[in-house]
């Protein structure tokens, strides 16, 4: 599953935040924060695993979840690329606006001042 599709659900985003804050949590610990059924939690966790956003490790009878750093790094790299694109675009727009402003100031200085009438 696509990472962004997986993160489109607020509950899954909350799970990621919980794991980021706590490091590791069991499925039971995660489920204690939500009001949905065990099968629904299992489905959410499966979607996050398939999107490479969380890692699951079996420890005896428990399944322990943590953030998949490699998957999150991919998202971060993509966001940095987009940010660079927008930063360049904004920088170009800023340069254009400054040039326009300078041009307008030059025009206003070259206009002749109205002559005062003598009465």
What are the pLDDT digits (tens) for 43-98? 999 999 999 999 999 998 999 999 999 888 888 887 888 777 666 667 777 777 88
Within-domain flag for 113 = no
Residues 82 and 27 occupy one common structural domain: no
Residues 11 and 57 occupy one common structural domain: yes
Q: What is the mean pLDDT of the chain?
A: 85
Q: What is the band of 116 on the pLDDT scale with cuts at 50, 70, 90?
A: low
Q: Identify the CA nearest to 102 among candidates 91, 114, 92, 94.
A: 94
Within-domain flag for 112 = no
H-helix or E-strand spanning residue 55: strand 54-59
Residues 59 and 32 occupy one common structural domain: yes
Provide the domain limits for residue 95: 69-107
Residues 7 and 62 occupy one common structural domain: yes
More confident residue, 103 or 62: 62
Residues 58 and 100 occupy one common structural domain: no
pLDDT of residue 90: 77
Residues 93 and 54 occupy one common structural domain: no
More confident residue, 1 or 63: 63
Within-domain flag for 116 = no
Residues 7 and 60 occupy one common structural domain: yes
Q: How far apart are CA 25 and CA 40, in angstroms?
A: 17
Residues 51 and 88 occupy one common structural domain: no
pLDDT of residue 49: 95
| pTM (predicted TM-score) | 0.66
pLDDT of residue 82: 78
Domains in the chain, number: 2
């Amino acid at each position: 599953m696509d990472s962004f599709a997986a993160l489109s659900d607020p509950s899954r985003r909350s799970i990621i935040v919980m794991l980021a804050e706590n490091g590791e949590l069991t499925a039971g610990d995660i489920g204690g924060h939500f009001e949905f059924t065990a099968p629904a939690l299992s489905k959410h966790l499966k979607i996050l695993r398939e999107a490479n956003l969380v890692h699951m490790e079996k420890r005896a009878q428990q399944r322990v979840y943590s953030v998949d750093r490699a998957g999150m790094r991919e998202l971060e790299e993509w966001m940095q690329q987009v940010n660079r694109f927008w930063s360049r675009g904004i920088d170009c727009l800023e340069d254009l606006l400054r040039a326009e402003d300078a041009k307008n100031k030059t025009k206003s200085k070259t206009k002749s001042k109205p002559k005062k009438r003598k009465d």
